Amino acid sequence: MPLIESFRQTITFFEGLQKDGFIEEYALIGGLALSAWVRPRTTRDIDFVVAVSRKTDWSEIASVIETRLNKRVAVQKGTQRTNIKEKLSYAVGSLEVDVISTRGFDLAAEAIGQAVVAEVFDKKVKVVTPEYLILLKLLPLSGQDVLDIKALAKKADIDTVRSLAERHYLTPKLESVLGKKKEKK
């Protein structure tokens, strides 16, 4: 199944999860979100952050995916040392869908709250802003993430990024990618 069709089906599914009260809201992150802000690049996955309803357990989200989509779901739990506490993955066609919960992950919760609606493959979807996308990409900080951050930095309000990075204890990682902030004389 082509990327565009996989994406559309995934968005329709998440709209249903929201309508049925399993999740409060969701936003696109990762490579596809990057494509909303800068020159698109290839990706093999669709990444989301989701605010799960208070009445819903993370395992219920996995169960709904398995039941409604007939997909095998890999559920991962974070540790005290990781920002991501709840994550799950499943395949749609040849793509992987990665879903990260905002529970215990303040940066992700803020990112959803500040996300904007954009049109991606003819579907309206919330996409995290360049500023928050930079911060989320600082967490794994792969080689591709460094390239993505540098591209996003041209669209982002860097003062806002630096302020957010400081609040979320990500300044050293940000400086390692963008360099130290130049002091005004």
- Residue 169 located in a structural domain: no
Domain containing 122 equals 3-128
Long-range contacts of the stretch 10-14 (C-beta < 8 A, 24+): 10/46, 10/92, 10/97, 11/123, 11/125, 12/123, 13/65, 13/68, 13/69, 14/48, 14/50
Which helix (H) or strand (E) segment holds residue 153: the answer is helix 143-153
- 8 A C-beta contact, residue 27 and residue 111: yes
Which helix (H) or strand (E) segment holds residue 4: the answer is helix 3-19
Per-residue pLDDT of 48-84, as tens digits, reads 999 999 999 999 999 999 999 999 999 988 766 678 8
- Residue 19 located in a structural domain: yes
- Residue 100 located in a structural domain: yes
pTM of the model: 0.92
CATH classification at residue 91: 3.30.460
Total domains in the chain come to 1
Let me know if 71 is exposed, middle or buried by CB neighbors in 10 A (0-12, 13-18, 19+): middle
Per-residue pLDDT of 104-116, as tens digits, reads 999 999 999 999 9
- Residue 71 located in a structural domain: yes
